Chain A
Amino acid sequence: MPRDNITDVLSAPARLYHPGGSALPNDSILSRDDAQALIERIKQFSRADAVEVQIFGGYATNVRFADNQMSTAGGVGDFQVGVQSYFGAKHAVVTTNELTDEALRRAVEKSETLARLAPDDPESMPQLPPQQYQPVEAYFPSVADMSAEARARIALTALEPCRSAGDLTAAGFLQNNAFFTAFGSSTGLFAYHRGTSSNYTVTVRTTDGTGSGWAGAEHNDAGQVDFAAVSRRAIEKARASQKPVAIEPGRYTVIMEPQAVGDLCQLIGFYADARATDEGRSPFVKQGGGTKVGEKIVDERINLYADPFDPMVRAQPFDGDGLPLGRQEFVRNGVLETLYYSRFWAKKKGVQPTGAPTSFLMRGGSASVEDMIKSTPRGILVTRLWYLREVDPRTILYTGLTRDGTFLIENGKVSRAVKNFRFNDSPLFMLNNLETLGRPERLAGTEAGGAVVVPAIKVRDFNFTSLSDAI
């Protein structure tokens, strides 16, 4: 573990080892060539029938603030190597973050020992042959090179106006990530991707305890994030949400801002597994057996798809098996187009595997949130949702609550703040009750995470089941 003598590890790619020991971002982000060289080195240690190597490196910096104070702040560099060895239908994974030849050889040997002892996996698939990948340009120096002081100054875009206002407190978080991933196997397959993201979220609360507003933004390029605008939007929401009144829970026309839409609709993807459906345990099982593929499951204006090349997403263009990912429609014009097929299940069913998507997108329309409000005689405007949990997997029925900006709409205008609601509803029911589609946005992170681009929507009859006193 402790490495006092650096010379014994210099045989590996030179950039991995920095005798100066400075924790600079680029030490954890390998170039394509260096990543390939590292994977080849690890493969040389392998004595298995087949081997897969996955490497990940990242440098993450953050600033956190709360109660109008600076809280924690940090910079973390790490690296992970995962080795999966195969002996026939037996396999096992070992990961390490030590990069000496000795540690890497030990990881390979350990994965071989475990694989030999493991029972056969009858679903083990042969390694993919080399694949062609269309690269995704997702790495921006604006994120990787941002200084600690620049990060603190972003926090000030919320802290300064809230401190000087006297009746507001800000809590927020800026996180910059720079990372790469690479995947290679004994067939010669090699895949590489690197990227950055800058994520900024702010919650402003009023000191009387009656108002709370949230805003957030995320982009691969920090230059595309208007940090001060995020802070301003949270402040405006906090003021507008003060002194909410209780209105009866029940079924309402609801305008959901994109953040709320993403949290709910992203769930559909998690249940769209072909195997679970064929086994009779998914919402896409047809009564009596079979699947709902080819059937209309939601409003015909709904299109759900994955697309790592979309400029608002710029996600990894391959999955954990090294399968290339392209644009893939899951719901087209309201019809369930396909379910997710793993390589094993696709082979068994004689279809093409879909790959495990790295992005979730929903096509939008042209309406702004303001347009939707204007056309609403009575309804609720929701900023975001919180604590979504499965209630019934048979229907994707979820519960959760509204949070940080919930408003009553009357006669085409936001009339006042209302208390938060708990809902019990399903994105499938909701997307059958669609009124209007808004403009897609990149979200600042859903509860489930991942790259998500969805529009605001207006829906009928959304099911609020109780009130919450939480501000």
Chain B
Amino acid sequence: MTTRRDFLKTGSVAAGAVALSSSLPGALHGTEAMVPRVRHVATAPEMDAVVKELLMEALNAAKLAGASYADARIGRYLQNFVVTREQQIINVVDTDSIGIGVRALVDGTWGFAASRDLTKAGVAAAAREAAAIAKANGVARDRRITLAPAPAVPNASWKNAYEIDPWTIPVEEKADLLIRSNAAGLKAANVKYVFSALFFRKQERSYANTDGSVIAQTIVQTAIQQQFTAVSPDFSDFQNRGNTIQPVGRGWEWVLQKQLAENAVAWGEEASAKLKAKPVEVGRYDLVLHPSHLWLTIHESIAHPTELDRAMGYEANYAGTSFVAPPADFLGKFTYGPAFMNVQGDRSQPGALATVGYDDEGVAPDEFLIVKEGKVNDYQTTREQASWLDWWYKSQGKAVRSHGCSYADNWSSVQFQRMPNVSLMPGEKEQSYEDLIAATDRGIAIVGDGSFSIDQQRYNAQFGGQLFYEIRGGKIVGMLKDVAYQIRTPEFWNSMDMIGGKQSYEVWGSFFDGKGQPGQVNAVSHGSVPARFRNVNVINTGRTA
């Protein structure tokens, strides 16, 4: 947690970096860019004594108001955007929000209240309001909510994998990088427009609960968004190339590593090439899906349906339910895919978006197999949900514990079950995306995520992509356009017959995964290897207005 004093210190570091950069125009334009001149080695945060006192004040007030359990989160949520198009800036935005969220369990029902008033009186009032809401809900209570035990973590701190805090990088350096990258993209034939943005998030989270946990964490996330648009000279067509770079739980070092100005030439040329691509003929094809594309199919058709709250009907009114329900019919029984298919849930992969030290209930997340050797093996859980599967865990000789999937997207949001990183694990044979293409006689290779839509139980899905390549006789023979494939989830995953090995594993993800009412946004990563799917239904989406 940053206090006001720390913030002022950070501010002066930023000002120093500004001065340094201004005196060295162009210093970052060459290969030196890969070696940052000021390395802010970030360390795990210490919880500020005042923040801790406020958290304790809130917990005490909740207990006095009748809570059997309560937790409190004081969080500072910072965002920074730099947005450009072509050779100009569109906007520079810096947001800063701080406050407390208190959750109270009274007689087996939840109440939550949030306030930006960080005084002792203010946090106590929020705690009392949370307890009062919980009590008022007693009139509509049926079953009592119970929580699976979790060991108290009395004095923990953690930070994610970022090395350079993006808030220490001056705005003109960010803008300059984007504008140079846009210029490179605009060099391609027919590329008329380029949109690009840098989007940084920083969360300074302090947590305490009535079990005795006190935890401070700092998380930095970075997204680079780009869209290159090619327009045909006769205005008969336009094509976009976007989703070029995955968002990550890293800092400014990630932006440098992606070499935007150097790589934009190729992205612009890809947009241009899409104008000349051949419209796809509808039919059934073998698909070779690159990790930059397959992550989204994993997200929609495996990760969402194995959220336990969704499977139990808790999202029925919005995000939907799940075909992987009821759990008793699926755990250990349902064949999701071939025996070489293993899907892991975790919040531990360095640089992944859902990676944390502790979740928003004070639980240290574990690594667990959601799909094990092709069969459904587990669900994503919180402390409220873990006991719903106690029969299964006992039969497997496992402890009944939360997998640490509780998350709130802001101090003002109540925590609930959110997706950990959910990844398709590498196969034993070391083979690459290119090896999969070489083994395919008639198919389509897809790179990058495009249009995506799936039903509320996660059966019927339709996915587009960014780049589509026709495969004939083990070779890429040209580019296709207007491609989308339609699947029924169980048949699709069971049609998977080849996957890549460790060397081909890549982690992609989403900055904006929506769920819950009121809606909350989660950032989540999905590791994947390339994989091949047999005989998938492909449609042509091109029409004229």
Q: Which residues of chain B have C-beta atoms less than 8 A from A189's C-beta? A: none
When A1-B118, A6-B119, A60-B518 are in contact, do A399 and B451 touch as well, CB less than 8 Å?
yes
Is B175 among interface residues, defined by CB-CB distance under 8 A?
yes
In the complex, which residues 403-442 of chain B have their Cβ closer than 8 Å to any Cβ of chain A?
Answer: 412-414, 416
Q: Which residues of A contact B (CB under 8 A)?
A: 1-4, 6, 18-23, 60, 62-80, 91-98, 107, 110-111, 113-115, 117-123, 147-149, 151-153, 155-156, 159, 163, 169, 171-173, 175, 201-203, 205, 212, 214, 279-281, 283, 285-289, 386-397, 399-401, 403, 420, 422, 424, 426, 428, 465-471
Q: Are B460 and A466 in contact (CB under 8 A)?
A: yes
Find B313's partner among A66, A79, A118 (CB 8 Å cutoff): A66
Q: Which residues of chain B have C-beta atoms less than 8 A from A21's C-beta? A: 115, 117, 119, 121-126
Q: Are B414 and A74 in contact (CB under 8 A)?
A: yes
Is B231 among interface residues, defined by CB-CB distance under 8 A?
yes
Beyond A1-B7, A95-B96, A152-B138, list 4 extra A-B contacts (CB 8 Å): A4-B120, A93-B94, A386-B456, A422-B462
22 A–B contact pairs at CB < 8 A? A23-B126, A73-B136, A76-B101, A92-B171, A93-B93, A94-B95, A118-B171, A119-B88, A120-B89, A148-B111, A175-B517, A205-B321, A280-B231, A281-B231, A286-B235, A394-B545, A395-B545, A397-B541, A401-B453, A424-B539, A469-B457, A470-B323
When A20-B121, A79-B116 are in contact, do A388 and B3 touch as well, CB less than 8 Å?
no
- Per the bound structure, the CA–CA distance linking A286 and B234 in Å amounts to 10
Q: Are B313 and A98 in contact (CB under 8 A)?
A: no
| Shortest Cβ distance from residue B165 to the other chain A in the assembled complex, whole angstroms | 16
Is B352 among interface residues, defined by CB-CB distance under 8 A?
no
| Shortest Cβ distance from residue A28 to the other chain B in the assembled complex, whole angstroms | 9
In the complex, which residues 117-169 of chain B have their Cβ closer than 8 Å to any Cβ of chain A?
Answer: 117-126, 129-130, 132-134, 136-143
When A98-B98, A152-B139 are in contact, do A72 and B237 touch as well, CB less than 8 Å?
no
Q: Which residues of chain B have C-beta atoms less than 8 A from A280's C-beta? A: 192, 231, 235, 238
Is B110 among interface residues, defined by CB-CB distance under 8 A?
yes
- Per the bound structure, the CA–CA distance linking A69 and B140 in Å amounts to 8
- Per the bound structure, the CA–CA distance linking A393 and B460 in Å amounts to 22
Q: Are B139 and A171 in contact (CB under 8 A)?
A: no
| Shortest Cβ distance from residue A154 to the other chain B in the assembled complex, whole angstroms | 9
| Shortest Cβ distance from residue A156 to the other chain B in the assembled complex, whole angstroms | 5
| Nearest A residue to B462, CB-CB | A399
| Shortest Cβ distance from residue B242 to the other chain A in the assembled complex, whole angstroms | 11
Is B265 among interface residues, defined by CB-CB distance under 8 A?
no
Is B312 among interface residues, defined by CB-CB distance under 8 A?
yes
Find A470's partner among B229, B318, B455 (CB 8 Å cutoff): B455
- Per the bound structure, the CA–CA distance linking A44 and B92 in Å amounts to 22
Find B3's partner among A2, A175, A468, A469 (CB 8 Å cutoff): A2
Is B316 among interface residues, defined by CB-CB distance under 8 A?
yes
Q: Are B137 and A148 in contact (CB under 8 A)?
A: yes
Q: Are B119 and A3 in contact (CB under 8 A)?
A: yes
Q: Are A77 and B116 in contact (CB under 8 A)?
A: yes
- Per the bound structure, the CA–CA distance linking A110 and B192 in Å amounts to 34
When A3-B119, A79-B116, A212-B316 are in contact, do A117 and B170 touch as well, CB less than 8 Å?
yes
In the complex, which residues 531-545 of chain B have their Cβ closer than 8 Å to any Cβ of chain A?
Answer: 537, 539, 541-545
Is B4 among interface residues, defined by CB-CB distance under 8 A?
yes
- Per the bound structure, the CA–CA distance linking A229 and B517 in Å amounts to 21
Q: Are B139 and A62 in contact (CB under 8 A)?
A: no
- Per the bound structure, the CA–CA distance linking A147 and B89 in Å amounts to 47
- Per the bound structure, the CA–CA distance linking A285 and B544 in Å amounts to 12
Please, how many residues of chain B have a CB less than 8 angstroms from a CB on the other chain?
110
Q: Which residues of chain A have C-beta atoms less than 8 A from B137's C-beta? A: 63, 70, 73, 148, 152
Q: Are B316 and A95 in contact (CB under 8 A)?
A: no
Stretch of B34-42, B253-261, B361-369, B480-488 contacting A (4+ beta carbons < 8 Å): B480-488
- Per the bound structure, the CA–CA distance linking A401 and B129 in Å amounts to 40
Q: Are A155 and B140 in contact (CB under 8 A)?
A: yes
- Per the bound structure, the CA–CA distance linking A1 and B456 in Å amounts to 42
When A78-B114, A399-B462 are in contact, do A147 and B94 touch as well, CB less than 8 Å?
no
| Shortest Cβ distance from residue A29 to the other chain B in the assembled complex, whole angstroms | 14
Is B99 among interface residues, defined by CB-CB distance under 8 A?
yes
Q: Are A4 and B119 in contact (CB under 8 A)?
A: yes
- Per the bound structure, the CA–CA distance linking A119 and B211 in Å amounts to 51
Q: Are B316 and A203 in contact (CB under 8 A)?
A: yes
Find B92's partner among A75, A114, A122, A426 (CB 8 Å cutoff): A114
Q: Are B455 and A386 in contact (CB under 8 A)?
A: yes
Find A175's partner among B129, B231, B518 (CB 8 Å cutoff): B518
- Per the bound structure, the CA–CA distance linking A244 and B7 in Å amounts to 59
Q: Are A2 and B455 in contact (CB under 8 A)?
A: no
Q: Are A171 and B455 in contact (CB under 8 A)?
A: no
Q: Are B460 and A468 in contact (CB under 8 A)?
A: yes
Is B112 among interface residues, defined by CB-CB distance under 8 A?
yes
- Per the bound structure, the CA–CA distance linking A162 and B121 in Å amounts to 41
Q: Are B18 and A110 in contact (CB under 8 A)?
A: no
Q: Are A94 and B94 in contact (CB under 8 A)?
A: yes
Q: Which residues of chain B have C-beta atoms less than 8 A from A111's C-beta? A: 94
Q: Which residues of chain B have C-beta atoms less than 8 A from A6's C-beta? A: 119
Q: Are A2 and B132 in contact (CB under 8 A)?
A: no
Q: Which residues of chain B have C-beta atoms less than 8 A from A77's C-beta? A: 114-116
Is B294 among interface residues, defined by CB-CB distance under 8 A?
no
The 8 closest A-B CB pairs, nearest first, are: A74-B112, A21-B121, A148-B136, A470-B457, A468-B460, A171-B316, A470-B455, A21-B122
When A2-B118, A280-B231 are in contact, do A119 and B321 touch as well, CB less than 8 Å?
no
Is B91 among interface residues, defined by CB-CB distance under 8 A?
yes
Q: Are B115 and A23 in contact (CB under 8 A)?
A: yes
| Nearest A residue to B18, CB-CB | A117
Q: Which residues of chain B have C-beta atoms less than 8 A from A469's C-beta? A: 323, 457, 459-460, 488
Q: Which residues of chain B have C-beta atoms less than 8 A from A1's C-beta? A: 2-4, 7, 50-51, 76, 98, 118
Q: Which residues of chain A have C-beta atoms less than 8 A from B413's C-beta? A: 76
- Per the bound structure, the CA–CA distance linking A163 and B136 in Å amounts to 19
- Per the bound structure, the CA–CA distance linking A354 and B242 in Å amounts to 29
Write the B47-82 contact mask toward A (1 if CB under 8 angstroms, else 0): 000110010000000000000000000001000000
Q: Which residues of chain B have C-beta atoms less than 8 A from A71's C-beta? A: 110, 314
- Per the bound structure, the CA–CA distance linking A80 and B237 in Å amounts to 42
Q: Are B175 and A119 in contact (CB under 8 A)?
A: yes
| Nearest B residue to A62, CB-CB | B518
Q: Which residues of chain A have C-beta atoms less than 8 A from B98's C-beta? A: 1, 97-98
Q: Which residues of chain A have C-beta atoms less than 8 A from B193's C-beta? A: 279, 281
Q: Which residues of chain A have C-beta atoms less than 8 A from B126's C-beta? A: 21, 23
| Nearest A residue to B300, CB-CB | A387
| Nearest A residue to B7, CB-CB | A1
Q: Are B96 and A96 in contact (CB under 8 A)?
A: yes
- Per the bound structure, the CA–CA distance linking A77 and B129 in Å amounts to 11
Listed residue (B132, B229, B316) with the most chain A CB atoms within 10 angstroms of its CB = B316
Is B281 among interface residues, defined by CB-CB distance under 8 A?
no
Q: Are B460 and A72 in contact (CB under 8 A)?
A: no
Is B23 among interface residues, defined by CB-CB distance under 8 A?
no
When A173-B317, A212-B316, A394-B545 are in contact, do A72 and B136 touch as well, CB less than 8 Å?
no
Q: Which residues of chain A have C-beta atoms less than 8 A from B15's C-beta? A: 113
Find A288's partner among B124, B142, B231, B235 (CB 8 Å cutoff): B235
| Shortest Cβ distance from residue B94 to the other chain A in the assembled complex, whole angstroms | 5
Q: Are B452 and A389 in contact (CB under 8 A)?
A: yes
Q: Which residues of chain B have C-beta atoms less than 8 A from A428's C-beta? A: 545
Q: Are A465 and B453 in contact (CB under 8 A)?
A: no
| Nearest B residue to A471, CB-CB | B457
Listed residue (A62, A79, A149) with the most chain B CB atoms within 10 angstroms of its CB = A149
Q: Which residues of chain B have C-beta atoms less than 8 A from A74's C-beta? A: 111-114, 130, 133, 414
When A23-B126, A114-B92, A469-B460 are in contact, do A97 and B541 touch as well, CB less than 8 Å?
no
